Structure 1
Amino acid sequence: MSANLYIVPHDLTELGDKTLENTILLGRRRHTAILLLHLVDKESKIAKAKAHLEKVVANSIWEEGDPEIEIEVTVGNIFDDIGRISEEKDARLVVMGTHGAKGMQKILGSYAIKVITSTSTPFLVVQDRVIYEPITKIVVPIDLTKESLQIINYAADLAFMFDAEVHIVGEKQTDARLANQIKIRIALVKKEYEEKNVKNVITLLGGSGSFQKKVVNYAKEVNAEMFALAYHSESLLPQFDGFAQTLITNADKKPCLIINSEEVSNSYF
């Protein structure tokens, strides 16, 4: 398969079908290949699952000239083996579906963070819809930590892929020292993006309410189609797990690129 590989974990549901179609659409923008992955708890289930996935591919939007799709069904579990397989195959991206806030308790939410932090491979989390509209604006929240800036290159790659504009958003600080820190972070991002000719908008969000709610509302106001963020467990954002989950399962069903800032290595997908 291509060295530029996208992995799609499929749970044999309609959500998995839509996740595959989103990946095919994404893969058309890059010379890539797709691994459709399903994990079972015993070998006796492999043949039936593989037959199901073969039908999924046959009935998908795939057409001649689209990314090559390979099916793999193996014994394992999502918490240990998605990350392991993505690293063994040097995947550039894992595209994973979620049922949104309703399904958080079952697959994602805090479980999603466990899967994402098991690997250095970036995750694109999509909800139960196929994204046909163009991606023109990507909202990227940053905080006072250097780890939050590790999403910057990934967001730039996305911007080039879609010819999109990156909206870097931080939170206004009333403390003078913290305000200076966020100002420095923003200046670094601005300088790097200007050097790379990345279209960008820098915004500090004020007002009352949680930062996560401000970020979601901002994305609505500017009609952004995607979020991108770096997950880091030591974030200065309060309850960052909840922050990440809010973006992953946002009510507008915008896709969310999320990386584990402690493990990332590839800055291109």
Structure 2
Amino acid sequence: MSRNLYIVPHDLTEVGNAALDYAFFLGRHVKTDIMLLHLVDNQAKIAAIEAKLWDIIKVKSVPESVEMFVLATVGDIFTDINKIATREHAQLILMGTHGAKGFQKLTGSFAMKVITSCDIPFIVVQKETKHQEIRNIVVPIDLTKESLQIVSSAGDLARIFDATVHVIGEKHADEGLSQQTKNRVLLIRNKYDEKGAKCDINLLPPSGSYAKKVMAYVKEKNIDIIAIAYHSESLLPQFDNFAQSLITNEMKLPCMIIAAKQSGNLYF
């Protein structure tokens, strides 16, 4: 397709509607096609599910800049979303989560398992996520190259909204680690200069929970969306909990997340 394509996996619940509504919000700022997707376990269910998906769309105010498609197909959410997204050259997947309680109930790591099965960015929203203009995006990084793989996607989003990307990391008493952080910051600033995206760099104090410091920064700077690269080999302790806490944050902010690949050359 020549235009952008966003895929919205819809589970026929309110959180599916929340993801679709947020896709419409983005679609009011950039022309895009939106595919409403539902995977079934039986071919006989396809026609009925497609009808339900169109019924969902009919009661929505679809932006003029958006063209809608539906797809109900036999498949597995953990293996086939990526195949469909790759085949259709999708730029973004928008998915709803039931929040911290539902998130844990559905998994251990239901949403993370879907995200890590895919090669393109997600935006995860909660049922109560507001559609506020994106003026400030926060990108928490660490000392791994993998943590930088969200930088490009966050910059693309920033350009759409003329937003500022706040890249944050932690200060280090160790001189070697401090130099690594400075090198990361220089790479990021150069990348955003090339993209024409506004960038603000901040290093947080070294002590205390990184997740808590990130959320304190979010509140202080009126952040509108959190953007992270998920990588299980992160230097951050308990990174799974870190990522999940940001996806299901109490402020109900949307979270852009990409499954980072273990390669030194993919982070931009």
TM range (shorter): over 0.9
Distance of 1:60 and 1:66 partners within structure 2: 14
Distance of 1:232 and 1:100 partners within structure 2: 21
Task: Report how far residue 186 of structure 1 moved.
Answer: 1.0
Q: Which region of structure 1 is more displaced relative to structure 2, 218-227 or 77-86?
A: 77-86
Alignment-derived partner of residue 171 in structure 1: 170
- CA-based RMSD: 2.2
Report the number of matched residues: 267
Is 1:36 aligned to 2:36, yes or no?
yes
Deviations 1:100-133 (A, max 9, x none): 1011124466222221121211111111135332
Does the 8 A contact of 1:138 with 1:228 survive in 2? Answer: yes
Task: Report how far residue 37 of structure 1 moved.
Answer: 0.2
Distance of 2:126 and 2:25 partners within structure 1: 15
Distance of 1:180 and 1:34 partners within structure 2: 43
| 1:113 partner SS | helix
Distance of 2:175 and 2:99 partners within structure 1: 38
Does the 8 A contact of 2:136 with 2:166 survive in 1? Answer: yes
The residue type equivalent to 1:25 in the other structure is F
Does the 8 A contact of 1:92 with 1:122 survive in 2? Answer: yes
Distance of 1:158 and 1:266 partners within structure 2: 19
Distance of 2:61 and 2:223 partners within structure 1: 25
Task: Report how far residue 192 of structure 1 moved.
Answer: 2.5
Percent identical pairs in the alignment equals 52
Task: Report how far residue 55 of structure 1 moved.
Answer: 1.2
| 2:82 partner SS | helix
What does residue range 174-185 of structure 1 map to in structure 2 within 5 Å? 174-185=173-184
The residue type equivalent to 1:46 in the other structure is I
TM-score (ref. length: structure 2): 0.92
Alignment-derived partner of residue 250 in structure 1: 249
Alignment-derived partner of residue 5 in structure 1: 5
Alignment-derived partner of residue 84 in structure 1: 83
Unmatched tracts of structure 1, length 5 or more: none
Unmatched tracts of structure 2, length 5 or more: none
Task: Report how far residue 207 of structure 1 moved.
Answer: 5.4
| 2:191 partner SS | helix
Q: Which region of structure 1 is more displaced relative to structure 2, 119-128 or 254-263?
A: 254-263
Alignment-derived partner of residue 213 in structure 2: 214
Alignment-derived partner of residue 94 in structure 1: 93
| 1:125 partner SS | strand
Task: Flag the 1:235–1:30 CA change in 2: closer, same or farther, 3 A.
Answer: same
The residue type equivalent to 1:211 in the other structure is Y
